[in-house]
Structure 1
Amino acid sequence: MVEKRVEVDYEAWRRGRWEEIAGPLGKAGVVQLATITGSAQTVEGVPGQWDASGSDGVKFTAAGADGVSLDGRPVNGTVTLTGGSSLRLSGERTVAVSGGDGIYRLIVWDPTVASLTRLREIAVFPVNPAYTVDAEYRRTPGREVEIERLTDPPTKHILPAPADLVFDLAGQRRSLTVIETFPGNLLVVFTDSTSGAETPDIGRWVVLPPVEGDTVRVDFNQAVLPLHVFSRAFPCPLAPEGNHLPVPVPVGECAPVYGEPKGTREAMSTDIKDTAVRYLRRLEAGDYAGMRALCTDTATVWHNDGKGQQTIDENLAMLKDGPAAEASLRYDITRQFTEADEVLQQHVLRITNADGPVGEVQAAMYFRFKNGLIDRIEEYANFIPAAG
């Protein structure tokens, strides 16, 4: 039996959604996810070691020089953390801890990342009651489906698919598969005729409430953008095979809206200058995930080394596995110029290893930005070895 429809306060829903994405520890500021399940485990870009083998929480060990604090006190040794704890890293990043029973999840959040600081709103289509449907919830006990996740490179996972939704939309009978991404989280990942045009080509989500009977209300006006749209750190699932609606669904969220920081055009110039500097500071720290979070999905890199153009992921993989990853790096920036969404800067990269100075790279680097994120890097560099 279909329940009586309840009036939805869409403005309240949008405010809650904005808080989830752009509020304190909001998803748009997440630059890295990690899972701790063993002992002596390290996390790229985060100092110290983790140990989840105990029964009283996850242990974190760091030296005072690492610049990590807990509740405002520097960590110098070992502390025990439980779900809900958080650490402050040097700079402005926070590591939030969740989980328990030997499995802990870490979320690294950076309030300065451009995907958060330049996010102005989440655009939505007008509300249309015709896209709130009462669907049959056809249970499929034990069924599993293979889902592709937006990891780098993409991976495939087997997830429970506990039901199909069957409903009428735009004059036709439709069916969508429900997946369960973790126990109790019922998710409908779908694409429609707006995908790749007015909405992301990776589709959108409808999160279902707990279902007790054989019907459920599906409100496409509350269709949301995948978290991957706001932060590449999230390995979001793509739509299961067949979860395409061959009609437009012009309701719900459609796109993030990015713009200038609050203030003047000069403030925007300062913002992209700072982003260019943060990119290099992340490289100094070996924080490749943080570097990637400052770039668009399609960012490219070119150097005057004869190797041609690379994608940002190819370039970061080269840096991570190259000799510079074992060295100490310091960028001394001598000057910067901005023009619209472009930054041109001159700097000297000083390279040191355990045996002393290796040399320096004198360089001019060009950054082009798109929606506040780095979309193109070009570097003209000359390496000068250290004397002797």
Structure 2
Amino acid sequence: MSSPTETASDLQNSWDTWHAAHEEQRASEHGFLAVTGLHFLDAEARPVDGIPGLWNAADDTVTITLSALERLSWDGRELNPDGTGSTSVLGPIEERDALYLEHGPVLIEVVRRGGFLVVRPRDPRHALRTSYPGTPAFPASEDFVVPARVEYFAESQSVTVGAVVEGIEHVYEAPARLRFELGGVEHVLTAFNGHTPGTLNVLFTDLTSGDTTYPANRSLTVTPAEDGTAVVDFNRAVNLPCAYTDFATCPLPPAGNRLPVAVEAGEKLPVQREAAA
């Protein structure tokens, strides 16, 4: 049988491996640290800093007008192939869908968030990415690995939450809630559908939020077992993109997902953060 020291060491080693992979993804060439701006589109055709063309939105489509000297490519084809100028209509773009265009090393993300069409250039040369020092975290602790009961709703509930950007609301499907004990007290958290099939995503805050951890939210992925149980490992609580930059539209946790305990586990406040000008 493993000693407590060996168990703690195994937990930390497992966490170190997992977190290194998470950090690598976060700092990837066109990851969120490469985003240079958040540009909301409307009916008026306007330039977007750092990329070619005039951009405007109508309903669920985006129109890009290029002059004779401007170049963009989408899905492997040039939008202005003969160099005489062009007008291209992209879409329809549904909520949380994305299209990607290329301009040299810059990947141009076109997304729909909270009903708004948004352009976010991703430049791998962006200083936030190239100087990224990594994210500090609490030491892994068995105290924050807790069993939970997954209580599925008869029907998934549509839950509307706010966002870190004023005026935006997000709607997510919540199939279940998690019931567990932490610090000798029972807690319940609403869980959304996860990013991969069979997983749940939990957005939460706690008594460390705004002190040692990012105030708006942290995120945790939970994988339920077939018997309706799950392990909630708060050591794997991570920051959303909004913890690093104002160029994000991250959702806020649903009502009730504020834990009245200090979850001293998972990622802490980032060392550096980019504010919009």
| Alpha carbons 1:20, 1:27 under 8 Å: kept | no
- Where do 5+ consecutive residues of structure 2 fail to align? 1-9, 92-97
Instruction: Give deviations 1:113-162, integer Å, cap 9, x for gaps.
Output: 332233211101100022112211101223233311111x2433333222
Deviation for aligned residue 1:243: 0.9
Corresponding position of 1:109: 122
Separation in 1, partners of 2:100, 2:249 = 23
**Contact preservation (8 Å) 1:34, 1:107:** yes
Higher strand share: 1
Please point out which of 111, 123, 131 is paired with 1:118: 131
Describe the superposition over 1:70-100 as per-residue Cα deviations: whole angstroms up to 9, x where unpaired.
77989435689998864115xx53225789x
Alpha-carbon RMSD: 4.1
- Aligned counterpart, 1:296: 275
Larger Rg: 1
**Aligned to 2:19, what secondary structure does the other structure show?**
helix
Residue 257 of structure 2 corresponds to 243
TM-superposition CA deviations, 1:308-355 (whole Å, max 9, x none): xxxx5xxxxxxxxxxxxxxxxxxxxxxxxxxxxxxxxxxxxxxxxxxx
Q: Which residue of 1 aligns with 2:170?
A: 157
Whether 1:209 aligns to 2:223 is yes
Q: 1:159–1:181: 8 Å Cα contact kept in structure 2?
A: no
- SS of residue matched to 1:135: strand
Residue 138 of structure 2 aligns with an amino acid whose one-letter code is: F
Give the distance between the partners of 2:168 and 2:223, measured in 1 at CA.
Answer: 28
Counterpart Cα distance in 1 of 2:25 and 2:45? 29
Q: CA deviation at 1:52?
A: 11
Rounded to whole Å, the distance in 1 between the matches of 2:229 and 2:201 is: 15
- Mapping 1:206-355, distance limit 5 Å: 206-209=220-223, 212-258=226-272, 296=275
Q: Secondary structure at the match of 2:69?
A: helix
> Structure 2 residue aligned with 1:88, among 80, 84, 103?
103
Q: Which residue number corresponds to residue 30 of structure 1?
A: 35
Percent of pairs with identical residues: 28
Structure with greater helix percent:
1
Q: Which residue of 1 aligns with 2:7?
A: none
Query: What's 1:11 paired with?
Result: 16
* Counterpart position of 1:66: 70
1:116 and 1:12 map into 2 onto residues whose CA distance is: 21
Could you tell me the TM-score, scaled by structure 2's length? 0.71
- Residue 4 of structure 2 corresponds to none
- The aligned residue for residue 378 of structure 1 is none
CA displacement 1:35-85 (0-9 Å, x = unmatched): 99xx998774443368999xxxx9966334225467798943568999886
**Deviation of 1:235 (Å):** 0.8
Residue ranges of structure 1 left out of the alignment (5+ in a row): 1-5, 259-293, 298-311, 313-388
2:192 matched residue in structure 1: 179
Distance of 2:274 and 2:21 partners within structure 1: 27
Residues 231-280 of structure 1: CA deviation (Å, up to 9, x unaligned): 2222111111111111111111102224xxxxxxxxxxxxxxxxxxxxxx
Aligned length, in residue pairs: 248
Task: Answer yes or no: is the 8 Å Cα contact 1:81–1:97 preserved in 2.
Answer: no
Secondary structure of the residue aligned to 1:231 is coil
- TM-score with structure 1 setting the length: 0.53
